[in-house]
């Protein structure tokens, strides 16, 4: 399949999300974020937000969401209270347009 022109590809935003109270394990955080998004917005809403953990750091992760759904993603992340089996809180530190900018600005700073 030919790649779509750049202007027609889906647009993303990358959220730098601090993980407090638990280790930023990719699978555990992904599961917690999916559960929270589905619980708050249902399956169609969850598919529209499409939160995906794309990068992990020492105490934070990068979550990719659809560009127009940043506020809904923020609400879903606020509803996460458990990661794995530990009580935890996910705090959005910043939003960027690329993974690299997100890591450089919000995770390494």
Which residues of this chain interact with other proteins, rule CB under 8 A? 20-21, 39-41, 71-72, 74-79, 81, 87-89, 91-92
Q: With DSSP H G I counted as helix, E B as strand and the rest as coil, what are the percentages for the chain, rounded to 5?
A: 45, 30, 25
Start-to-end CA distance of the chain, whole Å, equals 39
Strands 86-87 vs 89-96: parallel, antiparallel or unpaired: unpaired
Angle between helices 26-49 and 70-78 (to 10 degrees): 140
| Shortest reach from residue 69's CB to other proteins, in Å | 11
Task: Compare residues 75 and 101 and give the one whose CB is closer to other proteins.
Answer: 75
Q: How far is the CB of 2 from other proteins (least distance, A)?
A: 38
- Identity of the residue, 40 or 99, whose beta carbon is nearer to other proteins in the bound complex: 40
Q: What's the CA gap between 24 and 10, in Å, rounded?
A: 27
Question: Least separation, in Å, of the C-beta of 93 and other proteins?
Answer: 10
87 or 100: CB nearest other proteins: 87
C-beta closer to other proteins: residue 8 or 18: 18
């Amino acid at each position: 399949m030919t790649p779509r022109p750049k202007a027609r590809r889906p647009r993303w935003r990358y959220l730098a999300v601090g993980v407090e109270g638990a280790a930023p394990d990719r699978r555990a955080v992904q599961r917690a974020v999916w559960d929270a998004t589905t619980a708050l917005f249902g399956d169609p809403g969850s598919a529209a937000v499409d939160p995906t953990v794309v990068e992990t750091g020492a105490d934070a992760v990068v979550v990719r969401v659809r560009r127009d759904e940043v506020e809904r993603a923020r609400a879903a992340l606020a509803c996460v209270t458990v990661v794995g089996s530990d009580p935890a809180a996910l705090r959005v530190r910043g939003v960027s347009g690329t993974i690299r900018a997100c890591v450089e600005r919000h995770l390494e700073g």
